[in-house]
Amino acid sequence: MASLATAEMCDTNQALLTNGEVRVLDPIFRTYGQCIAFSGPVVTLKVFEDNFLVRDMLESPGNGRVLVIDGGGSTRCALVGGNLGQLAQNMRWAGILVNGCIRDVDEINACDVGVRALGSHPMKSNKRGIGDKHVPVNVGGTVIHDGEWLYADADGIVVSRFELSA
């Protein structure tokens, strides 16, 4: 799915930025994967150092959606690795935003999917299945709701309560 330029979105949607319907995430995320620019409707997960639900969600058809994972900002393990990056590509997810870490960076960078994360960490996470799906999450200084739209490119990440048009 082609993505609108985030800088242009900000320029043309000042009123929506002011009233909070469009929000810009803090510039804290690193870029991974082959898709520098991506967009789509959001699916949210809230987990902490446990990626069982991440795999569970990525095993379902993505249909151009973006998985937003609130990992609590933990940098003690990775929530997404190369196998999950490949799964996201195969299941046609547009992208993954991780408020936490990834691993297998070279493998993820070979995947045709957009990934943003705080950084990389070589340790894998737990797999207990603890967490919540489809709940509001706080990522990059903003609350993101299931069903909102996320737009990412080289300039940053923008979240909107609804799909924006060119």
What is the per-residue pLDDT across 27-56, written as a single tens digit (0 to 9) for each? 999 999 999 999 999 999 999 999 999 999
Instruction: Compute the distance between CA of residue 164 and CA of residue 166 in angstroms, rounded to an integer.
Output: 7
Structural domain includes residue 76: yes
Phi, psi of 76 (to 5 degrees): -100, -10
- The pLDDT score that the predictor gives to residue 10 is 95
**CATH number, domain containing residue 37:** 3.50.30.40
Q: What is the pLDDT of residue 165?
A: 80
Binding annotation for Mg(2+): 104
Q: What is the pLDDT of residue 166?
A: 60
Q: Where is the binding site for substrate, in residues?
A: 81-84, 103
Helix (H) or strand (E) holding 54: helix 52-58
C-alpha triplet 163, 166, 57: angle, nearest 5°? 35
pLDDT for 1 equals: 43
Q: The tokens of 31 are what?
A: 């870029």
pLDDT at position 162 is 95
How many helices and strands in the chain, by DSSP H and E? Answer: 5, 12
Query: Is there a domain that residue 96 lies in?
Result: yes
What pLDDT was estimated at residue 25? 97
Q: Is residue 78 part of a domain?
A: yes
Domain annotation covers residue 165 = no
What is the DSSP pairing of strand 132-133 with strand 38-46? antiparallel
Q: Does any domain span residue 80?
A: yes
Judge whether 46 lies within some domain: yes
The answer to whether residue 77 sits within a structural domain is: yes
Q: What DSSP designation does 9 have?
A: H
Give the H/E segment covering residue 18.
Answer: helix 14-19
Domain count, the chain: 1
Binding residues: 81-84, 103-104
- Structural domain contains residue 20: no
Expressed in percent and rounded to 5, the helix, strand and coil fractions of the chain are 20, 35, 45
Q: Which helix (H) or strand (E) holds 105?
A: helix 105-109
For the chain, which ranges sit under pLDDT 70? 1-3, 166
Residue span of the structural domain in which 100 resides: 6-11+25-160
Residue 42 CA to residue 144 CA, distance in Å, equals 8
Residue 137 · residue 48 · CB < 8 Å? no
